[in-house]
Homo-oligomer: A and B are copies of this chain.
Amino acid sequence: MTHTTPPAPARVRLDNGGRAPWHPLARQAFLQALDDGWADPRRLHTEGRRAAALLDGAREAAAAVLGARTEEVRFTHSHPTALHAAVLAAAAGRRRAGVDVVVGAVERAAVLHAAQAAATMHGGRRVDVAVDRFGRVDAQAMTDAVASPGVALAALQHANGEVGTLQPVEQVHAAARTAGVPLLVDAGASLGHAAVPPAWDLLAADPADWGAPAGVGVLAARERVRLVPTGPEDPEPWAPGGVSVPAAFAAAVALQAVEADRVAEDARRRALVDRVRGAVTTIPDVEVVGDPDARLPHVATFSFLYVDGEALLTELDRAGIGVGSGSACTASTLEPSHVLAAMGVLTHGNVRIALDRSTTEQDVDRLLAVLPDAVARVREMLGVGGL
């Protein structure tokens, strides 16, 4: 008697926010740049000049997508280091004009912590602007906060990566301009997925989020913004020691590629996300979170009452499906998400999916087929199955 083991179904990877599998063109660009870009771009010989040319080309390509000048774009070692540097250097550059830092309450932890550090350093305070139940910042409250005396800097994300909600960056940028306060826009969850308006004075973005290598970030600052680096003196204060030239080159090539099919991918992924957001409401005691309309096309988030997030994640993982949970954007710990807490929604039993360009309809079907039973099983384990 012979047994044939059926082939294991392929893993469904639905946790593609912040770190996604490499875009095929990123891989190709990386390998190509490895041969020409291994040298230190600061060196003066042929190999160094080739690496410098690749790096300059990458800056130019990223700048074109952002609507910036090449000189305004720098690569950093990661998205959080770009955010740290932007907040600290812009606040230091403005410390004669102000010491407070105004932030949205659901900014990324790196922004909140850097804003706290910068404000403390200069004797000011961090001013958090509340969000509504969808996670959208109160534009009027932010306008008022930015117009207060003593503000050095304001920071507002373009979209919240945890719940997908788009923020009123254009409105807030107009108010900031009027007040003469530079605005940092965190486009870490949106660039490559949504059109980023040129409503920023500083901008940070995350290549690993659009299918490029980890270990590289993007920091753009308009020429008019005065930046004073706060770390030890360094010839490359935004990335001491420099960045990997192949990684930066791959980031730029991948950005061009995802921008080229962004509109089509928006429609395709938005339809899948709408299906998920609709289908999960058939599961009892679920809360679908984030703005239903003004949102990223590829992110869906929901919270289940009487469910432990880690247990649900593990249950789905056993079924072959990888999803994000809790403060997925900031830490491995399943501490209550500061984003969900600020929104006043359930902070536990939380699942976030972020669809990659490679995510198929079948992947989403797999999730929806498995999710109701997984939730029921976790509730049974907690002894709340009958609720």
Contact = CB atoms under 8 A, between A and B. Distances in A.
Contact of A44 (B114, B247, B313): B313
Contacts of A88: 232
A66 interface: no
A218 to B, nearest CB: 12
Contacts of A324: 43
A48 B15 CA distance: 10
A45 interface: yes
A295 interface: no
Contacts of A45: 15, 313, 316-317, 322-323
A325 to B, nearest CB: 7
A311 to B, nearest CB: 11
Interface in A315-353: 316-317, 322-325, 328, 330-334
Given A39-B15, A77-B215, A240-B81, A232 B110 contact: yes
Given A18-B40, A330-B235, A213 B244 contact: yes
Given A11-B47, A15-B45, A47-B15, A78 B232 contact: no
Contact of A247 (B42, B215, B334): B215
A27 interface: yes
A40 B323 CA distance: 12
By Cβ-Cβ distance, the 4 closest A-B pairs, closest first, are A78-B241, A42-B332, A77-B77, A215-B244
A239 B78 contact: yes
Interface residues of A, number: 68
A89 to B, nearest CB: 12
Nearest to A46: B317
A79 B234 CA distance: 13
Nearest to A76: B77
A35 to B, nearest CB: 9
A109 B42 CA distance: 15
Contacts of A116: 232-233
Given A43-B322, A48-B322, 8 more contacts: A11-B46, A43-B332, A77-B81, A78-B242, A80-B234, A84-B240, A214-B245, A235-B331
Interface in A102-134: 109-110, 113-114, 116-117
